């Protein structure tokens, strides 16, 4: 799969998990609060490097952007290899990310309560990340399909040969 398709799918998966998380946390009382974990992690990193963390609102924005970027890059890994296995890789990445969100914070001394405080929040945490992986896989499949359609439409164009093929011009696969 093309890197642009993998990155695009990863970004869509990351956006989905962020939108769902931001919506659910305002509706469901025991919703996971991974934003708090991200803010705490960012604050600690900044303090250890001798920098004072920004005010909470700016820290929240920075953590949200960091989540989007890191999740987009993470989920884009599902696009490495054959497009046939993208669903399996997306689901596996989602499960791994969900388990990581549940188990890693407490092991590195961060707040574990936002994701681990009840069975419901644990299930939602795992589910959110699995949804992110599956949305990323779906987006990659869709983007890959559209890419192939564009390529086929170009190659089947009546003027295709006159547009460069007879001159030896090759086009990327």
- Is residue 164 in some structural domain? no
Confidence of residue 156 (pLDDT cuts 50, 70, 90): low
CA distance 34 to 94: 15
Tens of pLDDT, residues 74-90: 999 999 988 889 999 99
What pLDDT is attached to residue 141? 94
The answer to whether residue 49 sits within a structural domain is no
pLDDT digits (tens, 9 = 90+) for 98-126: 999 888 888 888 776 666 678 888 899 99
Question: Number of folded domains in the chain?
Answer: 1
Total-model pTM = 0.81
Predicted pLDDT at 94: 97
Domain span at residue 107 reads 3-32+70-147
Residue 133 CA to residue 72 CA, distance in Å, equals 10
User: Is 86 among the domain residues?
Assistant: yes
Is residue 121 a part of any domain in this protein? yes
- 50 versus 152: the higher-pLDDT residue is 50
pLDDT digits (tens, 9 = 90+) for 162-171: 555 555 555 5
Rounded Cα distance between 39 and 61, Å, is 9
| Cα–Cα distances in angstroms (integers) from residue 114 to residues 31, 39, 56, 94, in the given order | 8, 12, 17, 18
In the block, tokens 């779906």 appear at 138
Residues 6+ apart with CB under 8 A from 124: 24, 28, 30, 31, 32
Average pLDDT, the chain: 86
Q: Is residue 57 part of a domain?
A: no
């Amino acid at each position: 799969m093309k890197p642009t398709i993998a990155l695009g799918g990863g970004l869509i998966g990351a956006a989905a998990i962020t939108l769902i998380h931001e919506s659910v946390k305002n509706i469901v009382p025991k919703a996971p609060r991974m934003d708090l974990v991200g803010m705490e992690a960012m604050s600690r990193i900044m303090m250890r490097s001798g920098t004072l963390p920004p005010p909470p609102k700016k820290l929240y924005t920075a953590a949200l952007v960091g989540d989007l970027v890191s999740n987009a890059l993470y989920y884009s890994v599902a696009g490495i290899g054959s497009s046939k296995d993208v669903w399996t890789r997306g689901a596996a990445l989602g499960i791994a990310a969900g388990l990581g969100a549940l188990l890693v914070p407490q092991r590195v001394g961060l707040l574990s309560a936002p994701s681990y405080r009840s069975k419901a929040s644990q299930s939602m945490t795992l589910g959110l990340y699995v949804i992110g992986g599956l949305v990323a896989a779906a987006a990659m499949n869709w983007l890959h399909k559209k890419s192939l359609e564009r390529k086929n439409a170009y190659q089947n164009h009546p003027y295709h040969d006159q547009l460069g093929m007879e001159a030896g011009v090759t086009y990327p696969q």
